[in-house]
Structure 1
Amino acid sequence: MNKIDITPILNIAVEAGHGILKVYHDPAQDFGITSKKDNSPLTAADQVAHDIIMKGLTALHPDIPVLSEEGADIPYEVRENWPVYWCVDPLDGTKEFISRNGEFTVNIALMVNKEPVMGVIYSPVLNVIYYGSMEEGSFKMIPGGLPERIFVGKETAGWKAIGSRSHADPEEEEVLKGFPVTDKLSIGSSLKFCFIAEGKAHVYYRKGPTMEWDTAAGQAIAVSAGATMLNNLKEKFCYNKPSLLNPGFFCYSS
């Protein structure tokens, strides 16, 4: 596969973020909230971002299929042998979007041989973009600005654990006792992976449930910055499974 330029992908993520903000800031908008099959919420902004990303990625790379949360009804028999594909969450943190706390993101990951090798996460409200690849490392920047290289924290004690604002679990607290944690942070969406990548936090443990598009871009950015990502059995974290539901996972400073 030829090397893919990440710059147009950053632009697509920012464009999708701007589309989300139009819905977010519309005083007449009730967000058009409906429920999906799993009873998770879906808003008009999810669909707006999905359409922008699908159009952009397909125009750039018509030969690379897209697995998006809002277009995930692709049979395993069709996708199981994809050597390369995009894994997309057009609006990660829908509950944060609905509660208007600003902690939602646009997630785009490039998958090669069922592993995330490139990730882009854009926070529309913070107007900050995180991105990374196994070849180049990980970066943070304001769109249009200069990128800043980021790395995981190297501390061996005094770790900060980061967790979900919407999905706290008592069992997660027990597992974190196995790490040198002395402080805790909570934030929504894939920003948790970004905080690991830039050293603001050191361990993110999630019992579940999440989907593959929830973790792919974040894993690429965190691992490219020096983190380790394993499943809850501390084995390799796998993608493009028959079921797109993730097991529990650890993402932590290496």
Structure 2
Amino acid sequence: MQTTIDAAIEAGKEIMTIYKTDFDVAYKEDESPLTTADKRAHTVIKAKLERSFPDISILSEEGNHLSYDNRASWDKFWLVDPLDGTKEFIKKNGEFTVNIALIEGESPVFGVIYAPALDVLYVGEKNKGAVKIEKASQVDNLNKVFENGTKLPVPAQNDNNIRVIASRSHMSEETKQFIQKLTKEYDEVETISAGSSLKLCLIAEGKADFYPRYAPTMEWDTAAGHAIVEAAGGKVTTAEDGKPILYNKKELKNPWFLACREK
């Protein structure tokens, strides 16, 4: 745990050194943006994980994407998004994260999300729970996060309202329809906007009730947040039939999904 958290925070520091400059933006084949920060964060995380866990493979957004034939035999692997929310990074609104998840079989069992501009860390582990740590880079011993962090979900002050979280960059027509349906079922529905995997973190915290995602995501976008949501008692399932979201698929793109907080 300490190694993974250290990797996320060190990657966050690399990201922030770029964030404070007038950086250049390149574009991948799918037209998604790429910055030097993405590459530096990937290098930091890869080096730390390989040094401590040489027998566990790494699948990173910014690394080499092996074919399914090469990945199919993996029973355990790291799934990494070195900089999730590059669009938010470019906008300089602070809502971007470092995501590291451990996948066992087809399910995320451990997740770390670090928001470097906010200096907030989220950690979730199957059968152990989920926590949030403020001012994470200033904490000396993060190996005891489950003892010292704020346990998630945080008890709600007013649980009468329904809160739906939607992407700042990806508000689809289907998401609008989902929200419209809720307004017919509940007296008051509030829409919350956020970027990157912080949307899943807000579900884990209990600050939002639903996160419908009717827009494209990849496995590395969701794995860490998925682990944290489930460790906090919530669910992340396919939007179509409520089945579990699976990882290390032949096609790394996720189906549309719905995240719900603990009830």
Q: Percent of aligned positions with the same letter in both sequences?
A: 44
Residue by residue over 1:3-39, the C-alpha shift from the partner in whole angstroms, topping out at 9 and shown as x without a partner, is xxx122111100000000000012xx32x31111211
Structure 1 residues 165-244: aligned runs within 5 Å: 165-176=168-179, 177-178=181-182, 180=186, 182-233=189-240, 234-244=242-252
Question: 2:19: which partner in 1?
Answer: 24
Letter of the 2:232 partner, please give it: A
Question: 1:12: which partner in 2?
Answer: 7
Cα distance in 2 between the residues matched to 1:228 and 1:50? 28
Q: Specify the SS of the correspondent of 1:71.
A: coil
| CA-CA distance at 1:43 after TM superposition | 0.4
Letter of the 2:152 partner, please give it: I
Q: Quickly say closer, same or farther: Cα 1:152–1:209, change in 2 above 3 A.
A: farther
8 Å CA contact 1:89–1:107 kept in 2: the answer is yes
Question: 2:143: which partner in 1?
Answer: none
Structure 2 residue aligned with 1:94, among 76, 86, 90? 86
TM-score, length of structure 1 as denominator length: 0.92
Residue by residue over 1:98-145, the C-alpha shift from the partner in whole angstroms, topping out at 9 and shown as x without a partner, is 011110000000000010000000000100100100121000113217
Letter of the 1:94 partner, please give it: T
Residue by residue over 1:194-241, the C-alpha shift from the partner in whole angstroms, topping out at 9 and shown as x without a partner, is 111111111100012000000000000011001111012211211111
Question: 1:150: which partner in 2?
Answer: 152
Structure 1 residues 68-83: aligned runs within 5 Å: 68-83=60-75
Structure 2 residue aligned with 1:252, among 220, 241, 260? 260
Structure 2 residue aligned with 1:56, among 39, 48, 51? 48
Letter of the 1:149 partner, please give it: K
Letter of the 1:123 partner, please give it: A
Cα distance in 2 between the residues matched to 1:114 and 1:206? 20
Structure 2 residue aligned with 1:84, among 76, 95, 102? 76
| CA-CA distance at 1:157 after TM superposition | 4.4
Letter of the 1:9 partner, please give it: T
| CA-CA distance at 1:158 after TM superposition | 1.6
Letter of the 1:20 partner, please give it: I
Letter of the 1:243 partner, please give it: E
| CA-CA distance at 1:59 after TM superposition | 0.6
Cα distance in 1 between the residues matched to 2:159 and 2:20? 43
Question: 1:104: which partner in 2?
Answer: 96
1:164 aligns with 2:167: yes
Letter of the 1:227 partner, please give it: G
Aligned positions, number: 246
Q: Specify the SS of the correspondent of 1:161.
A: strand
RMSD over aligned Cα, in angstroms?
Answer: 1.6
8 Å CA contact 1:152–1:227 kept in 2: the answer is no
| CA-CA distance at 1:153 after TM superposition | 6.2
